[in-house]
Amino acid sequence: MAEQTIEHARPLTVLAEDEAIFRDSVRHFADAQVRPLVREMDEHAKIPRALVDQLFGLGVMGIEIPEAYGGAGASFFHAVLAVEEFSRVDPSIGVLVDVQNTLVVNAFMRWGSEDLKRRYLTRLASGAVGAYALSEAGSGSDAFALTTRARQDGDGYAVTGRKLWITNGNEADVFIVFATVNPEAGYRGITAFVVERGVPGFTVGKKEDKLGIRASSTCELMFEDCRVPAANVLGEVGKGYKTAIETLNEGRIGIGAQMVGLAAGALEHAIKYIKERKQFGKPIAEFQAVQHQIARAAVDVEAARLTVYNAARLRDAGKPFLTEAAICKIFSSEVAERVSSLAVNLFGGNGFVKEYPVEKLFRDAKIGQIYEGTSNLQLQTIAKQIIG
């Protein structure tokens, strides 16, 4: 028994063969196909549709979707690896893949009826981008104070309200929208609906002009008596709060992965640069002060990656991971900010201009402490779990 346990215990960062093959294929694609587009996508604040189509072709938009529905039939951990690898090159692509897999696909897999799975998982695996619409102007951290209303309308619902900050809003075809069927019932009125782009009464509004992850679209959504059939309720009526909480608990691990990838990417850029840049007659990599800064950053990246992999592996093992997910998200986002800031410093003046890649990563890092629960909210979760 003891021997068996030892045989099965794998160091957190040692990947299974299929995980390593998958990670390498995403890394190769990110370096070859995404990297050349990063600056242009940031400048134009847009991801070309051709690239989105390539992501579907690569199989990274339906990682956990069972093969029967056309997906890759892989694990949550695979999704985390993909988000990390894309974010090493471009955190905007990282979050596109993240929302698709860890929030949208995840919600359909866990709460979708067989009918919804058949209708939507096949599309999400093959070309339809998904978005997850919870936040509103008046409800961010206090997500359950949402006011978007779903009134019973014949055998379906009529949804009216506005959502704000919705990632993938520009590209998405399928939206998971949280609305209340009964405002008096508080959080117990919240229900998740599946709404398709183009249905009457639903408009995608303005796209935000952002500090970072500029290529990732962040949009307002408007609903005006938008008719949604009862068959498009995801999960149970009045149980949308559970769907929201539970998917976000998992999604947060994906954001941790996005931030680890970003930090690792910034560190790689910095290491390359310090070996090339000469001052005082030698590469700045030869100054001990610089070596120690790089070593500190490596400590940060390694520690952050361990928290992310641990949370993801706990989730796949069906074990509790709430505290670990919050820890990985807050820590990785702090690491991303620190390491990308150091990379800017080590690039000197070149760190401050768009011709070099690190100023973008520094801007991109900031979002990690805001979306899918701000850092204060993560601390609140951790404190509640450990203090009681």
Ligand X SMILES: Cc1cc2nc3c(=O)[nH]c(=O)nc-3n(C[C@H](O)[C@H](O)[C@H](O)COP(=O)(O)OP(=O)(O)OC[C@H]3O[C@@H](n4cnc5c(N)ncnc54)[C@H](O)[C@@H]3O)c2cc1C
Residue 145: CB atoms within 10 A of its CB come to: 13
**Does 370 contact ligand X by CB under 6 A?**
yes
Q: Tell me the window of 119-127, 135-143, 299-307, 319-327 that interacts with ligand X (CB under 6 A).
A: 135-143
- The set of catalytic residues is 372
Q: Tell me the window of 26-34, 83-91, 329-337, 373-381 that interacts with ligand X (CB under 6 A).
A: 373-381
Q: Tell me the window of 42-50, 128-136, 199-207, 276-284 that interacts with ligand X (CB under 6 A).
A: 128-136
**Minimum distance from residue 244 beta carbon to ligand X (Å):** 9
Q: Which is nearer to ligand X, 67 or 142 (CB)?
A: 142
Give the total of residues touching ligand X (CB under 6 A): 19
Instruction: Pick from 76, 111, 193, 371 the residue near ligand X by CB under 6 A.
Output: 371
- Which residue in this structure is represented by tokens 């601390």? 379
Q: Is 380 helix (H, G, I), strand (E, B) or coil?
A: helix
User: In what helix (H) or strand (E) does residue 3 lie, and over which residues does it extend?
Assistant: helix 2-8
User: In what helix (H) or strand (E) does residue 345 lie, and over which residues does it extend?
Assistant: helix 322-346
**Minimum distance from residue 367 beta carbon to ligand X (Å):** 5
**Minimum distance from residue 248 beta carbon to ligand X (Å):** 9
d(CA 360, CA 339) in angstroms, rounded, equals 13
Q: Tell me the window of 72-80, 164-172, 295-303, 322-330 that interacts with ligand X (CB under 6 A).
A: 164-172
18-26 LR contacts (CB < 8 Å, sep 24+): 18/74, 19/77, 19/78, 19/81, 22/74, 22/78, 22/81, 22/82, 23/81, 23/85, 25/58, 26/58, 26/60, 26/81, 26/82, 26/85, 26/86
**Minimum distance from residue 340 beta carbon to ligand X (Å):** 17
Site for ligand X in 210-229 (CB under 6 A): 210, 218
Site for ligand X in 92-121 (CB under 6 A): 99
Q: Which is nearer to ligand X, 99 or 322 (CB)?
A: 99
d(CA 163, CA 165) in angstroms, rounded, equals 7
Q: Tell me the window of 65-73, 119-127, 129-137, 350-358 that interacts with ligand X (CB under 6 A).
A: 129-137
Positive or negative, the CA dihedral 250, 254, 340, 212 is negative
**Minimum distance from residue 384 beta carbon to ligand X (Å):** 12
d(CA 59, CA 73) in angstroms, rounded, equals 10
**Does 133 contact ligand X by CB under 6 A?**
yes
Q: Say if CB 293 and CB 346 are below 8 A apart.
A: yes
Instruction: Pick from 41, 63, 89, 166 the residue near ligand X by CB under 6 A.
Output: 166
**Does 135 contact ligand X by CB under 6 A?**
yes
Positive or negative, the CA dihedral 159, 163, 166, 171 is positive
Q: Which is nearer to ligand X, 26 or 134 (CB)?
A: 134
Ramachandran region of residue 286, left (φ > 0), alpha (ψ -120 to 50) or beta?
Answer: alpha
d(CA 67, CA 70) in angstroms, rounded, equals 5
Instruction: Pick from 94, 112, 140, 240 the residue near ligand X by CB under 6 A.
Output: 140
Q: Say if CB 55 and CB 47 are below 8 A apart.
A: no
Q: Which is nearer to ligand X, 237 or 367 (CB)?
A: 367
Which residues make up the interface to ligand X (CB under 6 A)? 99, 132-135, 140-141, 165-167, 210, 218, 367, 370-372, 374, 376-377
